[in-house]
Amino acid sequence: MSAVVEKIDDVLYADGWDDCLVGHGNIFHGTDGQKTVAIYDRDKMVKKMAQEIIEQEQSRDQDQEEGFDPYLEADEYISFNVEGAYLQPGMPVYATFDQQVDFGKVATCDCGQC
Protein backbone atom coordinates (compact mmCIF):
# COMPACT_ATOMS: atom_id res chain seq x y z
CA MET A 1 0.00 0.00 0.00
CA SER A 2 1.41 3.38 -0.98
CA ALA A 3 1.45 6.37 1.33
CA VAL A 4 -0.74 9.36 0.61
CA VAL A 5 1.25 12.39 -0.51
CA GLU A 6 0.16 15.56 1.21
CA LYS A 7 -0.65 18.41 -1.14
CA ILE A 8 1.14 21.75 -0.88
CA ASP A 9 -0.52 25.15 -1.34
CA ASP A 10 0.32 26.97 -4.59
CA VAL A 11 1.32 23.77 -6.43
CA LEU A 12 -0.58 22.76 -9.57
CA TYR A 13 -2.10 19.28 -9.46
CA ALA A 14 -3.69 17.14 -12.16
CA ASP A 15 -7.40 16.67 -11.43
CA GLY A 16 -8.49 13.11 -10.81
CA TRP A 17 -5.02 11.61 -10.39
CA ASP A 18 -4.44 11.99 -6.63
CA ASP A 19 -3.78 8.26 -6.23
CA CYS A 20 -0.94 8.55 -8.78
CA LEU A 21 0.78 11.47 -7.02
CA VAL A 22 4.17 10.25 -5.74
CA GLY A 23 5.76 13.43 -4.45
CA HIS A 24 7.07 16.88 -5.23
CA GLY A 25 10.19 18.26 -6.83
CA ASN A 26 11.76 21.62 -7.53
CA ILE A 27 12.42 23.08 -10.95
CA PHE A 28 13.95 26.34 -12.11
CA HIS A 29 11.59 28.17 -14.43
CA GLY A 30 13.18 31.26 -15.95
CA THR A 31 12.00 34.53 -14.45
CA ASP A 32 9.65 32.68 -12.08
CA GLY A 33 12.66 31.23 -10.28
CA GLN A 34 12.41 27.94 -8.44
CA LYS A 35 8.99 26.31 -8.32
CA THR A 36 7.75 23.25 -6.49
CA VAL A 37 5.90 20.87 -8.83
CA ALA A 38 3.82 17.76 -8.34
CA ILE A 39 5.30 14.49 -9.57
CA TYR A 40 3.02 11.71 -10.81
CA ASP A 41 3.72 8.07 -11.61
CA ARG A 42 2.88 7.97 -15.33
CA ASP A 43 2.74 4.16 -15.48
CA LYS A 44 0.22 4.10 -12.66
CA MET A 45 -1.86 6.70 -14.52
CA VAL A 46 -1.87 4.55 -17.68
CA LYS A 47 -2.88 1.46 -15.71
CA LYS A 48 -5.66 3.37 -13.94
CA MET A 49 -7.06 4.79 -17.17
CA ALA A 50 -6.75 1.45 -19.00
CA GLN A 51 -8.78 -0.20 -16.23
CA GLU A 52 -11.44 2.50 -16.60
CA ILE A 53 -11.53 1.90 -20.37
CA ILE A 54 -11.89 -1.86 -19.82
CA GLU A 55 -14.76 -1.32 -17.38
CA GLN A 56 -16.49 1.07 -19.80
CA GLU A 57 -16.17 -1.39 -22.65
CA GLN A 58 -17.51 -4.25 -20.52
CA SER A 59 -20.50 -2.17 -19.43
CA ARG A 60 -21.36 -1.54 -23.10
CA ASP A 61 -21.56 -5.30 -23.54
CA GLN A 62 -20.08 -5.15 -27.02
CA ASP A 63 -17.39 -7.26 -28.58
CA GLN A 64 -13.99 -5.61 -28.72
CA GLU A 65 -12.66 -4.89 -32.15
CA GLU A 66 -9.62 -6.96 -32.97
CA GLY A 67 -6.38 -5.33 -31.94
CA PHE A 68 -8.04 -3.03 -29.38
CA ASP A 69 -5.53 -2.29 -26.63
CA PRO A 70 -6.85 -0.31 -23.65
CA TYR A 71 -3.29 0.35 -22.44
CA LEU A 72 -2.32 1.88 -25.76
CA GLU A 73 -5.51 3.96 -25.74
CA ALA A 74 -4.75 5.16 -22.21
CA ASP A 75 -1.12 5.90 -23.06
CA GLU A 76 -2.10 7.98 -26.09
CA TYR A 77 -4.77 9.87 -24.14
CA ILE A 78 -2.40 10.72 -21.30
CA SER A 79 0.37 11.71 -23.70
CA PHE A 80 -1.83 14.12 -25.64
CA ASN A 81 -4.42 15.35 -23.13
CA VAL A 82 -2.55 15.30 -19.83
CA GLU A 83 1.17 15.68 -20.55
CA GLY A 84 0.46 17.85 -23.59
CA ALA A 85 -1.80 20.26 -21.72
CA TYR A 86 0.48 23.18 -20.88
CA LEU A 87 -1.43 25.77 -18.91
CA GLN A 88 1.20 27.76 -17.03
CA PRO A 89 4.63 27.49 -15.43
CA GLY A 90 4.89 24.89 -12.69
CA MET A 91 2.92 22.18 -14.46
CA PRO A 92 3.22 18.70 -12.93
CA VAL A 93 5.91 16.24 -13.97
CA TYR A 94 4.84 12.81 -15.23
CA ALA A 95 7.63 10.37 -14.49
CA THR A 96 8.21 6.74 -15.43
CA PHE A 97 9.94 4.78 -12.70
CA ASP A 98 9.80 1.17 -13.90
CA GLN A 99 11.94 1.50 -17.01
CA GLN A 100 15.61 0.83 -16.58
CA VAL A 101 17.95 2.47 -19.06
CA ASP A 102 21.13 0.70 -20.05
CA PHE A 103 23.40 3.73 -20.23
CA GLY A 104 26.09 1.64 -21.92
CA LYS A 105 23.86 1.40 -24.99
CA VAL A 106 22.61 4.98 -25.02
CA ALA A 107 25.73 6.45 -26.62
CA THR A 108 26.23 3.69 -29.18
CA CYS A 109 24.90 3.48 -32.70
CA ASP A 110 22.64 0.77 -34.11
CA CYS A 111 25.31 -0.86 -36.26
CA GLY A 112 25.67 -3.79 -33.85
CA GLN A 113 29.45 -3.46 -33.83
CA CYS A 114 29.81 -0.73 -31.21
List the chain pLDDT tens, one digit each, 114 residues.
Answer: 456 789 999 999 999 999 999 999 999 877 778 899 999 999 999 999 999 998 888 777 666 666 778 999 999 999 999 998 888 888 999 998 866 656 555 455 556 655
pLDDT for position 109: 54
With b meaning 16 or more CB within 10 Å and e meaning fewer, what string describes 8-37?
eeeeeebeebeebbbebeeeeeeeeeebeb
Please give the Cα distance from 35 to 15 (Å, whole number): 19
pLDDT for position 1: 42
pLDDT for position 38: 96
